[in-house]
């Protein structure tokens, strides 16, 4: 879908609810026909009054006109009900699409992006909801009123056929010469708007830092710069809307004056009677109002296409593929060995390899520390071993089976990890540890005791049911790390990947947790990046990286 235009994306979105849209259009057709019966009824009533005849037929016509108005209102209400169902389905589909895709995005796709900005694009769903409802109901009724109105007018006099042709050409020209400019300016406006929102999120995340008056001044200056860009793009978009509306005003003035003059001329020359003239003017007013509704609705149209395109850019991002495993059962994961053969890794859009010619074999139960200077490739190597990244060159082999043949989800079920950037989410402490999995109390107690978290939990009135906010801001850094470690070990995985997992914990507590993690009774493999001296002392193997290469691989006796 990467080559799809915003309009094509929108049509594909609407195709999912074809049945609902057909119903909306069907009701719009009936409503349009009933609305146009109103001037015909008025025409007949005026003819009765002009002839000086008050009869049952006149009363019946009045009743029929009123019934028509009520029935048109009922049809509009039915349209609103279907439109509401459609809005709900759009919201539900979009929320699950985001919830499914965000965790499965390839690391390379978001390496240089803010995931919060990607998630914020979900709010464009609201623009699609509201805009689609307006477009389907207002645009469908407006176009149908124009179509039926011109057909009805042509029955009064052939001149009105020319009016219909002129109107169609006008709408086409307005749309043709403003569509691209309106869409592009709307996209730029929307992007600049979200940059302002993202900056406000940054201020919220780092509010303590910006309490300093000097820092606050910087925050306001940057906000001013972002808002200025937004206003510039907003003005450019508004100029497109203003030009369209100006064209509409000129059109309304010309059409209204010419039709009144021509209609009066036709009445004077007895080519139309007064009833027909009044009915024709009512129809003309309905048509002109419908044209105005379409022109003014183009801003909504641009907003919807902009939102569809921005969400489409998320759905275009490449996901990790769920390759069907060549392994028939999980018994092969009872012991996990990992082998890297001649592995290189390079980030997309970068010239230099981060890792060079890595050859490594890791067996079940090893306790490994990866060390090296900053920029040596430690983080990249542990992410590659955990399956977050895939080699640019060489082979990643799990239990003598190439990585590409093993379903990544099968592999992930058997390891726990704390990699850079992982944090707590909004929910209870128990949710953050178990992800609502059914865990035996004995297993939970084992994990809490192991990471020295039990005493802290007992001090909380709600215990494990204590709610925490995003990033666990009401917790100490040490307790946050303990919860993350408890999360990683709760299912007794085969491998643990730790990246600076105990750096914010005091040395005595860290030593106690390390003793638990590296105890001989624990069967898991540990692969850790850490500067903790006790971790290095107790591990069975030290791998040293230098400039993306393994410079030392020492196995302790």
pLDDT tens-digit readout, 261-281: 777 777 787 777 776 777 777
| Strand arrangement, sheet containing 393-398 | 355-362, 338-345, 393-398, 401-402
Least confident piece of the model among 199-213, 223-237, 503-517: 199-213
Which of the 8 DSSP states describes residue 420? T
Q: Which domains does the chain have, with CATH numbers?
A: 6-315 (1.20.1560.10), 330-555 (3.40.50.300)
pLDDT for position 406: 61
Q: What is the DSSP string of 451-502?
A: TT-HHHHHTSTTGGG-EE-GGGTTS-HHHHHHHHHHHHHTT--SEEEEESTT
- pLDDT over 90 (residue 44): no
Cα 452 to Cα 429: distance, rounded to the nearest angstrom: 15
CB-based contacts of 414: which residues, under 8 Å, 6+ apart? 330, 333, 336, 493, 494, 495
Q: Which residue has the tokens 């009936």?
A: 30
* pLDDT over 90 at 230, yes or no: yes
**Using CA atoms, how far apart are residues 200 and 202, in angstroms rounded to an integer?**
5
Mean pLDDT calculated for residue range 456-475: 89
Bridge partners, residue 263, by sequence: none
Highest mean pLDDT, choosing among 126-135, 160-169, 403-412, 459-468: 459-468
DSSP reduced 3-state for 319 = strand
* Chain-centroid distance, C-alpha 273: 58
Instruction: Please say if the pLDDT value at position 328 is more than 50.
Output: no
User: What is the distance in angstroms between the CA of the first residue and the CA of the last residue of the chain?
Assistant: 56
Percent of the chain with pLDDT over 90: 25
Between 270 and 489, the more confident residue is: 489
What pTM does this model have? 0.76
CA dist., res. 518 & res. 501, Å (int): 14
> Cα(406)–Cα(426) distance, rounded to whole angstroms?
32
**Three-class secondary structure of residue 272 per DSSP:** coil
Scanning 388-467, the segments in alpha helix (DSSP H) are 408-412, 429-434, 441-450, 454-458
pLDDT score, position 227 = 95
pLDDT reading at 143 higher than 60: yes
Phi, psi of 27 (to 5 degrees): -65, -35
* 28 token code pair: 């719009």
Q: Pick the closest to residue 237 from 193, 195, 198, 194 (CA basis).
A: 193
Which pLDDT score, from 0 to 100, does residue 527 have? 94
DSSP 318: P
Q: Residue 403 — very low, low, confident or very high, per pLDDT cuts 50/70/90?
A: low
Residue of higher predicted confidence among 176 and 461: 461
Give me the pLDDT at residue 326, please.
46
Q: How far is it, in rounded angstroms, from Cα 340 to Cα 383?
A: 13
- The pLDDT > 70 percentage for the chain reads 89
Query: Cα separation of 227 and 229, whole Å?
Result: 5
Rounded distance between C-alpha atoms, residue 270 and residue 264, angstroms: 10
| Residue among 35, 155, 36, 246 nearest 164 (CA) | 155
Three-class SS state of 405: helix
pLDDT confidence tier of residue 331, bands split at 50, 70 and 90: very low
Give the count of alpha carbons within 13 A of 515, CB side only.
Answer: 8
Which of the four pLDDT bands, split at 50, 70 and 90, describes residue 118? Answer: confident
Tens digit of pLDDT for each residue in 419-457? 887 888 889 999 999 998 889 999 999 999 999 999 999
The bridge status of strand 401-402 relative to strand 393-398 is antiparallel
Mean pLDDT, rounded, of the chain: 83
Q: Average the pLDDT over 530-537 and give the result.
A: 88
């Amino acid at each position: 879908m990467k080559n799809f235009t915003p309009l094509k994306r929108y049509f594909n979105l609407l195709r999912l609810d074809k049945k609902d849209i057909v119903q909306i259009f069907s009701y719009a057709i009936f409503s349009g026909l009933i609305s146009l019966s109103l001037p015909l009824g008025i025409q007949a009533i005026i003819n009765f009054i002009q002839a000086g005849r008050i009869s049952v037929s006149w009363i019946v016509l009045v009743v029929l006109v009123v019934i028509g108005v009520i029935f048109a209102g009922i049809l509009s209400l039915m349209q609103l009900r279907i439109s509401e169902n459609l809005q709900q389905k759009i919201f539900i589909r979009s929320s699950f699409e985001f919830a499914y895709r965000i965790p499965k995005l390839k690391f390379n796709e978001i390496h240089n992006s803010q995931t919060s900005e990607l998630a914020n694009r979900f709010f464009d769903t609201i623009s699609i909801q509201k805009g689609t409802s307006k477009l389907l109901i207002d645009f469908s009724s407006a176009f149908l009123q124009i179509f039926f109105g011109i057909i009805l007018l042509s029955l009064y006099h052939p001149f009105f056929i020319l009016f219909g042709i002129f109107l169609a050409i006008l709408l086409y020209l307005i749309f043709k010469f403003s569509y691209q400019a309106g869409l592009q300016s709307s996209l730029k406006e929307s992007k600049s708007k979200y940059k302002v929102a993202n900056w406000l999120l940054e201020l919220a995340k780092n509010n303590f830092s910006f309490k300093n008056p000097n820092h606050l001044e910087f925050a306001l200056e940057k906000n001013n710069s972002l808002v200025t860009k937004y206003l510039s793009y907003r003005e450019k978009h508004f100029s497109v809307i203003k030009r369209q509306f100006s064209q509409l005003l000129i059109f309304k003035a010309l059409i209204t004056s010419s039709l009144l003059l021509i209609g009066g001329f036709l009445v004077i020359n007895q080519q139309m009677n007064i009833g027909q003239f009044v009915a024709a003017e009512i129809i003309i007013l309905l048509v002109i109002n419908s044209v105005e509704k379409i022109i003014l609705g183009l801003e909504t149209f641009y907003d919807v296409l902009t939102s569809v395109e921005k969400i489409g850019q998320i759905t275009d991002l490449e996901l990790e593929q769920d390759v069907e495993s060549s392994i028939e059962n999980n018994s092969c994961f009872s012991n996990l060995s990992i082998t890297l053969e001649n592995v290189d890794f390079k980030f997309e859009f970068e010239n230099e390899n981060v890792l060079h010619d890595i050859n490594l074999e890791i067996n079940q139960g090893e306790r490994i520390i990866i060390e090296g200077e900053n920029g040596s490739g430690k983080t990249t190597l542990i992410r590659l071993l955990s399956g977050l990244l895939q080699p640019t060159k060489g082979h990643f082999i799990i239990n003598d089976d190439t990585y590409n043949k093993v379903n990544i989800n099968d592999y992930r079920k058997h390891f726990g990890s704390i990699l850079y950037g992982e944090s707590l989410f909004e929910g209870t402490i128990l949710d953050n540890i178990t992800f609502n999995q059914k865990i035996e109390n004995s297993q939970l107690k084992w994990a809490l005791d192991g990471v020295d978290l039990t005493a802290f939990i007992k001090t909380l009135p709600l215990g494990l049911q204590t709610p925490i906010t995003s990033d666990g801001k009401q917790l100490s850094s040490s307790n946050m790390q303990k919860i993350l470690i408890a999360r990683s070990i709760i299912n007794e995985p085969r491998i643990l990947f730790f990246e600076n997992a105990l750096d914010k914990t005091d040395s005595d507590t860290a030593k106690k947790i390390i003793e638990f993690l590296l105890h001989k009774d624990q069967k898991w493999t540990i692969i850790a990046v850490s500067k903790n001296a006790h971790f290095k002392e107790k591990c069975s193997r030290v791998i040293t990286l230098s400039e993306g290469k393994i410079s030392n691989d020492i196995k302790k006796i």
